[in-house]
Amino acid sequence: MGGMTSALRRRPAQRRSVERVERMLDECARLLDELGYEALTTKEVARRAGVPIGTFYQFFPDKQGLVRALAVRNLDAFLSRVSERIAEAHLGHWTDLVDLAIDEFVAMKRTTPGFAVVDFGEVLARPGGPPLEGTRRTLDRAQDNNVVVAERLRALAVDLLDAPPGDGLDRALLVAVEATDAVLKVAFRIQPDGDPFMIAECKLLVRRYLAEHLP
- SS3 per-residue string spanning 178-189: HHHHHHHHHHHH
pLDDT at residue 4 in the model: 55
Domain count, the chain: 1
* CATH number for the domain harbouring residue 128: 1.10.357.10
pTM of the model: 0.91
**Residue 186 has what pLDDT?**
94
Give pLDDT, residue 90: 77
The neighbouring-strand residues paired with 143 are: 140
Distance of CA 92 to the CA centre of its chain: 26
**Residues of the chain where predicted confidence (pLDDT) is lower than 50:** none
State which residues form the domain around 192.
Answer: 2-213
Q: What is the pLDDT of residues 128-162, one digit of tens each?
A: 778 999 899 988 888 999 999 999 998 888 877 77
Q: Give CA–CA dist 46/53, Å, rounded.
A: 6
Q: What is the pLDDT of residue 21?
A: 94
Structure confidence at residue 201 (pLDDT): 98
Nearest to 184 by CA among 107, 112, 111: 107
Which residues are 123's β-sheet partners? 118
What local confidence, expressed as pLDDT, does residue 113 receive? 97
pLDDT, one tens digit per residue, over 159-174 is 777 777 788 889 999 9
